[in-house]
Amino acid sequence: MLRLGLTGGIGAGKSEVSRLLASYGAVLIDSDRIAREVVEPGTPGLTAVAAEFGAEVLTADGALDRPKLGGIVFGDPERLRALNAIVHPLVRARSAELEAAAGPDSIVVHDVPLLVENGMAALYDLVVVVDASPGTQLDRLVRQRGMAESEARRRMAAQATREERRAVADVVIDNDGPLEQLEPQVRAVWLELKERAEAGS
């Protein structure tokens, strides 16, 4: 099994790269999706979050009110740490389950937005960083996602710098150009990964 950590700044195109890798046959483990699943109604995760932050972080139908919770933890490192202490172990446990279910010859891609910020590079055989210039990221967030420029800049500033991400990368996928330039790069990386996996390195 080859274990890959995939990361990139907001708006860099990491989701598109993970989608392409999955389409070639990678086993995709999406940390963001798991983080949502572990706090769905009826889960121990949601019970723990409500116990920590109070019933006001729940909607009328008992689901997590993400904007309300975001308003509490964003900008308050202490509260964010409390939330992460609940969610991160659950995400790790679920990720380990999914990885264990993959075959021994699998290439497992862990899509982890905050891989660099959380010091997780050493957990993987390889780290792949999807890279785009800050100007490109900003343009995509404003034009494609409809974000206000101030909000986009704030989100970008809250993440690791481009240099910090590149420093832990074994492979960098340049996604500054149009989508059609991305696919051949990702395919080339996939072929390289298959060779590595087959060589058992």
- Global confidence as pTM: 0.87
pLDDT tens, per residue, the chain with 201 residues: 999 999 999 999 999 999 999 999 999 999 999 999 999 999 999 999 999 999 999 999 999 999 899 889 877 889 999 999 999 999 999 999 999 999 888 999 999 988 999 899 999 999 999 999 999 999 999 998 898 999 899 889 889 999 999 999 999 999 998 888 999 999 999 999 999 988 875
CA 86, CA 49: separation in Å to the nearest integer?
7
Domains present along the chain, CATH in parentheses: 1-26+106-201 (3.40.50.300), 32-104 (3.40.50.300)
CA 169, CA 16: separation in Å to the nearest integer?
18
